Structure formats: C-alpha cells, structure tokens
Amino acid sequence: MNLLTPYWSLDILIVSSSLMIAVYLYASWKLKYWSRRGIMQITPSPLFGNFKKCILFQKSVSEIIRELYGQNEGLPFMGFYIFYKPFFLVRDIELVKHILVKDFNTFANKHTSADSKNDRIGYSNLFIIKNPAWKYLRGKLTSVFTSGKLKKMFDLMLIIGKNLEKHLELLNLDGNGKEVELKDLCANFTTDLIGTTAFGVNLNSLKDPNSDFRENGRLVFDYNLKRAFEFFSIFFFPNLNKYFSVKFFGKATDYFRNSFWSVINQRIESNVKRNDLIDCLIELREKHKNDESFEGFRFDGDDLVSQAAIFFTGGFETSSTTISFTLYELALNKDIQKTVRTEIHEALAQTDGKITYDMITNLPYLDMVVSETLRKYPPLGFLDRVALHDYKIPNSDVTIDKDTPVIIPMIAFHYDPKYFPNPEKYDPLRFSEEVKKTRPSYVYMPFGEGPHICIGMRLGLLQSKLGIIEILKDYEVSPCEKTKIPMVLDPKGLTTTALGGLYLNIRKITIAAG
C-alpha cells in the first residue's frame, strides 16, 4: 500500500521535502525570537546564529561581542543568537547597574554552570554556584581576603618574589638579554604565590615548571579544540554538559580533588592554624557537617573541595595574564616602562631596597598601568547572568523572559571611544584621579561589579604588582623576533590569552635598585 502516490520513490521525495520545509520554517521562526518582541537583532545565519566565526574558531567570544555591540550604537540593548538560542545583550549603562546591583535578586545567578550530578567539583565552586549557597559561601569566604589577612600573607609572598629573582638570575640575562616566554614564567610564579598564600604549600613551580600541580593547572586552560568546546558549553549551553561529560576543570578534575583533600587532611592532622583558605574550609566543614539546608549543597566532599580548586585556578591564571600583558605593553612603550621603573626605584630608596606591603599598595603610576592593562586585556571579556523570573526593563515596554541569558559586554565598554578615547592606545593616564572622575560608573569593571565582584580581586592585584616590581626593578623588557605586534589573542580561548605564548627580550639593567 502506497502512502501518497502510486510510487514509493515519489512518496519519499514528498515526505523528505515536507520535513525539510518544516525544519526550515521552524528554524526561521526561532531566529525571529527578538524581532517578534520588537527588539533589534543582527540578522543571524542559519545554524550558527550570530556566532559563526567564534564557533569555527576564527574569532574569540570577546571579539564577537565587541562587534555586536558596535553594530548597534545608540540602542540600550539588543538580541543575538548562538545557534538557535536567544541571548540578550545590554548596552545601556543604567540597565547594567540595575542588573548587577539594583535588581540583583532577579539576576543573582550566572547562566554559566556545570553538571550538578556528574561534575560536582565544577558545579559547586563559588564562581558559578547558585543561590542560596552562593550568598552564604560568599559571606564566609570573604574573610580570607581582608586587608589584615593580605598583610599577613605578604611575607609569604615575598619569599616567592625572592625565588623569582633567583630564577631570573639563573637565566643569565646580562648584556643583550635573552628571549623569554613570559606567560608560562608568570604562571609558574603566580602558581607558587597562590599555593603558599591560600593553601600553605610550597609548589616550587619556578624550580620545576613540569611539576604535577603546574601541569594540571595548564590543563585547565589548555585551549585545544576539546577544551574550547567544554568551556563554550559551560558558559553558553550548560544543559548540554551532562550529555557530553563536560568537566569545568577538565582532565585536572581528579588530580585537584585528590590533591586538595590531601592538603585539607594534612592541615587537620597537624592542627596548625594559618587563617588561610584551607582553615576557612575546615571550619565550614565542622560547623555545617550535618547541615543540608542549602538546596543540596554540602560542606563536605566535592562541594567543599571545589572552593579550593576554583581559588587555585583563578588565582594563578588571572594574575599571570595581567603581569605578562603589562610587560608586553611596557616593552612596546619604553617611556611608560621608564616612568614605572623610576617610581619603583624611588619607592625602594625609601625602604632600603625592601619591598613592603605599604610600598606596593602606594605606587600610583603602577596602579594606573595595571588598570590600563586590565582595560585592554580583562581576564574574561563579558559578564553573564540569567533572569530568574520575567523582568520588565525600567522605563521600557520590553520584558526579559524568565531563563533568558543576559550578556554584559564588558570588553566592549572598555574599548568604546565614548568612554575611552583612542581605545587601542595603551595610556595609563586614563586612570589618573582627574580622568576617572569624568567617566561614568559601570564602564570599567575587569573584575565584575556588584555582589558578584571577584572575591580575590585585592589578592590578584597584589600578586600582579609584586611580579611586575620584581622584574622591572632589575630588568628591561623589549620586543624580540617572536613578539607579535599587534597582539594576537587565541580565538579558542574563552579567557584572554595570547595565541602561541607571549615572547619578550629581557635584559638586566646596569644599575639595579637596592
């Protein structure tokens, strides 16, 4: 019995054609989600939406977001698509303030997420955990990063600083100097810093850059195709993570679990108190060992150790990129490099050549330099939130539907000439007190803003400044044959990463400070 016609082949052709038309019409309908709501959208391409070049690893996420932002000048917001999924892009500064601060309860959670069942160590960390556990954890862990705690940590940081000095001396950088890959060197330094300050362990990454800890740290941010896909899924399509066994910490997951539990157990057995992150986690574990009132979150197992894993990875990666990108820009801007070095030498002359906490936090030009680096190279180029319920935009007839991902294009604000004239130019004076007063709030936020602002911001800045000082006080950086001018960022990287490493020539200067 034939279905539609006397010929099976014709039936198959009719049915397949009908299915193709139905799929096309459904896809076209999906890609008009924003236009049906009267919201501006850039015409998306079939299948890829507005992220084709990103999905094909031709451009980074940050570059695509900057392009979308630039195509809608004057509009307060717009819609775009990744594949067929609609995302909401915010351009208006006042709306940014509402989402991040004033109406925080509506946007308290990030859209980013890991699989809660198969990747608890990824799902439960402070970076992406959901309320109410996030709010409680945030309040408790904040105490680890007070000014008083940072001052106590600083003596430990100075030991790692001395190790960096010794390492550079062993490289024999006299005369014309040598070509050095800065990104990995800086990551070895910051890995040792976060190890000693937050966990009380000496990782010796500067001496042994191929140690297990350092190798697993590299694995987290190893942007091969598989890792790029995993991060893309976690940030933009978290519901797919369970189907592809995506892990937030990738291949390093089991190593981090075992290593950090070992550190926690050793601290418990030794009964030594350091008032660091490990002590805080042990205290939370003891206090809440029978408490399961935070929607399934437990202060034990992967839920607890995930906090150590995120502080370790975030602690070494963001600071190392800040140091290396700063040195890159200073190599290209010799006058700025000279001014920074002069400020450092003058400060060291007042402290008999000793780097102190008060000295490092009172170098205004260095602070401007680091701020300008973070403007051009924020560790992550965007902020993401998700609407927990329907949200009517103030002074508008537009409603953001529940569960809609919201993207705040931080990198686009940083490069908007309206806020930062001639944005491609590296100009630390943008961050003088006089100039800062002329800029609106919420256009510069490399560490985020509002209740979700990076909890380790002050520690990260302290680590970055220490690394810059340790190098610049005795060495000059300049471009070499492998230096990429202009900078080329890895299109597979979700975080801001130099493609193929970051190479500079480092030469010991003849008159060293102290």
3-class secondary structure per residue, 342-381 = HHHHHHHHHCCCCCCHHHHCCCHHHHHHHHHHHHHCCCEC
- What is the spatial distance between Cα 436 and Cα 429, in angstroms, rounded to a whole number? 9
Cα–Cα separations (whole angstroms), residue 297 to 125, 304, 360 = 11, 9, 39
Weakest-pLDDT range from 3-7, 81-85, 226-230, 325-329? 3-7
Pick the closest to residue 145 from 242, 277, 279 (CA basis). 277
Question: What integer pLDDT is reported at residue 74 of this predicted model?
Answer: 87
Question: What integer pLDDT is reported at residue 471 of this predicted model?
Answer: 98
Pull the structure tokens for residue 1.
Answer: 């019995």
Per-residue pLDDT tens over the stretch 251-279: 999 999 999 999 999 999 999 888 889 99
Question: What integer pLDDT is reported at residue 12 of this predicted model?
Answer: 67
Length of the chain: 514
Q: Under 8 Å CB-to-CB from 298, ≥6 apart: which residues?
A: 288, 292, 304
- What is the spatial distance between Cα 499 and Cα 490, in angstroms, rounded to a whole number? 4
Query: Residue 512: pLDDT above 60?
Result: no
Query: Residue 16: pLDDT above 80?
Result: no
Weakest-pLDDT range from 5-19, 179-193, 379-393, 403-417? 5-19
* Domain chopping of the chain, boundaries: 32-508
* Arithmetic mean of pLDDT over the chain: 92
186 is in an annotated binding site: no
Share of residues in the chain with pLDDT > 90 (%):
82
Weakest-pLDDT range from 186-195, 255-264, 274-283, 342-351? 274-283
Pick 462 or 29 by higher pLDDT: 462
Q: Average pLDDT, stretch 220-225?
A: 92
- Confidence label for 107 from pLDDT (cuts 50, 70 and 90): very high
- What is the spatial distance between Cα 460 and Cα 110, in angstroms, rounded to a whole number? 22
- Confidence label for 514 from pLDDT (cuts 50, 70 and 90): very low
The stretches of 212-300 forming alpha helices (DSSP H) are 212-220, 225-236, 241-244, 253-270, 277-287
Question: What integer pLDDT is reported at residue 429 of this predicted model?
Answer: 98
What are phi and psi for residue 41, nearest 5 degrees? -140, 145
- Confidence label for 309 from pLDDT (cuts 50, 70 and 90): very high
pTM above 0.75, yes or no: yes
- What is the spatial distance between Cα 193 and Cα 278, in angstroms, rounded to a whole number? 15
Per-residue pLDDT tens over the stretch 436-457: 999 999 999 999 999 999 999 9
Query: Residue 306: pLDDT above 80?
Result: yes
- What is the spatial distance between Cα 390 and Cα 177, in angstroms, rounded to a whole number? 60
Query: Residue 513: pLDDT above 70?
Result: no
Match 């190893």 to its residue by tokens: 222
Angle between helices 277-287 and 133-141 (to 10 degrees): 130
Q: What region, left, alpha or beta, does residue 83 occupy, with left being phi > 0 and alpha being psi -120 to 50 degrees?
A: left
Question: What integer pLDDT is reported at residue 25 of this predicted model?
Answer: 64
Q: Under 8 Å CB-to-CB from 378, ≥6 apart: which residues?
A: 410, 411, 414, 446, 496
- What is the spatial distance between Cα 254 and Cα 381, in angstroms, rounded to a whole number? 29
Question: What integer pLDDT is reported at residue 464 of this predicted model?
Answer: 98
- What is the spatial distance between Cα 284 and Cα 298, in angstroms, rounded to a whole number? 10
Question: What integer pLDDT is reported at residue 360 of this predicted model?
Answer: 96
CATH topology of domain 32-508: Cytochrome p450 (1.10.630)
Question: What integer pLDDT is reported at residue 293 of this predicted model?
Answer: 63
- Confidence label for 143 from pLDDT (cuts 50, 70 and 90): confident
Query: Residue 364: pLDDT above 80?
Result: yes
Pick 203 or 289 by higher pLDDT: 203
- What is the spatial distance between Cα 501 and Cα 193, in angstroms, rounded to a whole number? 21
Contact 345, 473 (CB under 8 A): yes
Weakest-pLDDT range from 15-29, 142-156, 464-478? 15-29
Q: Helix or strand or coil: residue 26? A: helix
Q: Under 8 Å CB-to-CB from 346, ≥6 apart: which residues?
A: none
Cα–Cα separations (whole angstroms), residue 373 to 367, 448, 483 = 10, 15, 17
Question: What integer pLDDT is reported at residue 273 of this predicted model?
Answer: 86
- What is the spatial distance between Cα 497 and Cα 238, in angstroms, rounded to a whole number? 23
